[in-house]
Amino acid sequence: MSASHAPAPSLAIFCKVVDNYGDIGICWRLARQLQREHGVAVTLWVDDLASFRRICPQVEAAAASQVVQGVLVRHWRGQDGDHAPGDIADIVIEFFACDIPPRYIEAMAARSPRPAWLNLEGLTAEEWVEGCHKLPSMHPRLKLTKHFFFPGFTARTGGLLREAGLERDRLDFLRHPERVRAFLRGLGLPDAEIDALKVSLFCYPHAPVADLFAAWRDGAERVTCLVPEGVAGHAVAEFLGAAACAGAVATRGALTVRVLPFVPQPDYDCLLWACDLNIVRGEDSWVRAQWAGKPFVWHIYPQDEDLHHKKLRAFLARYAPAIASLQQVMFHWNGVQGDAADWPGLWAALRSDRARIEARSDAWQAAMLANGDLASNLLAFAASLR
């Protein structure tokens, strides 16, 4: 039988939820794409089903095992438990160096043939990634080799997560303005909020949200800020003068802030497409913002000794080396240049550069498309190991 007609492999993904929704967001997108587009039998092991449920309402938070959209979801309750070699998938992925249960690893070693074992790492624009992508790591005791697999922004990395029909769906959505308005009305927005400049806000708690709100409030341009429930809760509640619950809304000056419920992943993509600017965080929403083709501001996951600042600079050096306004907004949003910032001035400069930023977004998308998509690249590499 030729390789092109070989049966699709089975695959297991192990995911520990650290960043609330980012980790499971990435793993869930990958699992669905592998199952839908490549026919892979996917088992997704997740330790926090409650967080998973926020982005996929079909998930039963108390279930030990369930099938969701064609993916077998297993509750990863801990490091104990027995696993037989016959239960081990052809490809085993540990996301971001989470520790797979020891007995599962022993069963991997006892399986014949042994599975392809990949550590799917976090996304970074740093140059060292190209040298580490696909590197092997021998198990110290068992006859097993793990390989590092890095997503990234160049042809010498694994590329970015992207479903085959994503761009088609985005263009179809934007091609029909009434569909966009109907989506926003479904989130509770009246026409006045829809007609304003729309910003989605997804950030970590330490972002200078109150300062940005003040700049928008006192500005001349009407702004509608859409915030998922639980995000920037203190600053949002202060602005609202009430609890930041889904459905809460208030207008002060030129700014309207509306709290949205968490939405399933496909609806989050529509939200990014419908907004004029997206403020995103971590990895999952950051990647989706890049595919949305709209200007975005990234709030990077904080690390000890400000290592995340180096990662931010590395990305901006690739993405926007000549757009100073976007660089300055992201630097101040992430605390690179201290807390004091002239947010009215930063915002005005960013708005004046919107045409350049939009053009750069289009060019960036074309460059990323040329690298292929992460799921297909990952499967091709796993096949090369067998």
- For the chain (386 residues), the mean pLDDT of every run of 10, in chain order, is 67 88 90 98 96 94 97 94 91 94 95 97 96 97 97 98 97 98 98 98 96 98 97 97 97 98 94 98 96 96 88 97 97 86 97 96 95 98 95
The pLDDT of residue 259: 98
**Which residues lie closer than 8 Å to 168 by C-beta, 6 or more apart?**
none
Structure tokens at 165: 């029909």
The pLDDT of residue 124: 96
**Which candidate, 145, 159, 220, places its Cα nearest to that of 386?**
145
The pLDDT of residue 19: 65
The pLDDT of residue 103: 94
- Angle 369-316-223 (CA atoms, 0-180°, nearest 5)? 90
**Which candidate, 206, 183, 203, places its Cα nearest to that of 193?**
183
- Angle 60-64-69 (CA atoms, 0-180°, nearest 5)? 50
Q: How many angstroms separate the CA atoms of 300 and 312, rounded?
A: 7
The pLDDT of residue 5: 60
Q: Is residue 241 exposed (0-12), middle (13-18) or buried (19+ Cβ within 10 Å)?
A: exposed
Does 283 participate in catalysis according to the annotation?
Answer: yes
Amino acid symbol at 233? G
The pLDDT of residue 2: 41
Catalytic hit among 19, 23, 269, 353: 23
Catalytic hit among 19, 163, 193, 283: 283
Beta-bridge partners for 13? 44, 93
The pLDDT of residue 340: 79
Does 23 participate in catalysis according to the annotation?
Answer: yes
64 φ, ψ to 5°?
-75, -35
The pLDDT of residue 303: 86
